[in-house]
Chains A and B, each alone.
Chain A
Amino acid sequence: MTSYLIAIATSAGFYVLLALALNLQWGMTGLVNFGVAGLYALGAYASALATERLGLPVALALPLAAAVGALAALGLAGLSARLSGDYLAIVTLGFAELVRLAAMNEDWLTRGTRGMGIATRPLPDWLGREAYALAYLGLVLLAVLLAYWALERIRRAPFGRVLRAVREDPLVPATLGRDVQGFRLRAFALGGALMAVSGSLYAHWVLSISPDHFQTPVTIVTWMAVVIGGAGNNRGLVLGAALVIAVLEGTRFLGGVLPGLDAERLSALRIVLIGVLLIAAIRLRPQGLLPEPRIRAAELSATAAPQGDHRP
Chain B
Amino acid sequence: MTLLTVEALAAGYGGREVVSDVSLVVGEAELVALLGPNGAGKSTLLGAIAGSLRPMRGRVLLGGREVTGLDPAALAAAGAALVPQRRNVFRSLSVAENLAISAWPDRRQAARRRDEVLALFPALAGALRKPAGLLSGGQRQMLALGMALMAGPRLLLLDEPTAGLSPALVEEALLAVTELKRAGVAALLVEQNAREALRHADRAIVLAAGRVVREGSATELLAAPDLGALFLEGAA
Direct contact of A and B (CB under 8 A): no
